[in-house]
Amino acid sequence: AQSVAQPEDQVNVAEGNPLTVKCTYSVSGNPYLFWYVQYPNRGLQFLLKYITGDNLVKGSYGFEAEFNKSQTSFHLKKPSALVSDSALYFCAVRPQGNKLTFGTGTQLKVEL
């Protein structure tokens, strides 16, 4: 069965510093990988996805993610964090077919 792990419940970072939100997955085959962001009292918004090709994927709002097949990881990164990036971030995997499996989420807090 597929699974997604986000090992940190919360990540704190100072504005202007780089940020990383970690995600590892366990699934057979070559999955599609996704990152979503959720602001308070809102639905999830798509940030970026990896399907195939370049291991570094660029997405919305300056975010990027690095796919590492050997480590089965798909960490979300941003070179310079903003206070407005504070939100709940979800990693998800789509092995084959139509279903996604989501991680439990990481709360990102960016402080001045």
Q: Which residues bind another protein (CB under 8 A)?
A: 9, 32, 34, 36, 41-46, 49, 51, 90, 92, 97-100, 102-105
In the bound state with another protein, the residue whose beta carbon lies nearer, of 49 and 75, is: 49
Q: What is the DSSP letter of 81?
A: -
Q: Radius of gyration over alpha carbons of the chain, in Å?
A: 13
In the bound state with another protein, the residue whose beta carbon lies nearer, of 31 and 105, is: 105
Which of 109, 44, 55, 56 lies closest to 83, judged by CA? Answer: 109
| In the complex, least distance from residue 88 CB atom to another protein, rounded to whole angstroms | 10
Strand-pair partners of 57: 65
In the bound state with another protein, the residue whose beta carbon lies nearer, of 28 and 40, is: 40
| In the complex, least distance from residue 79 CB atom to another protein, rounded to whole angstroms | 24
CB 65 within 8 A of CB 74: yes
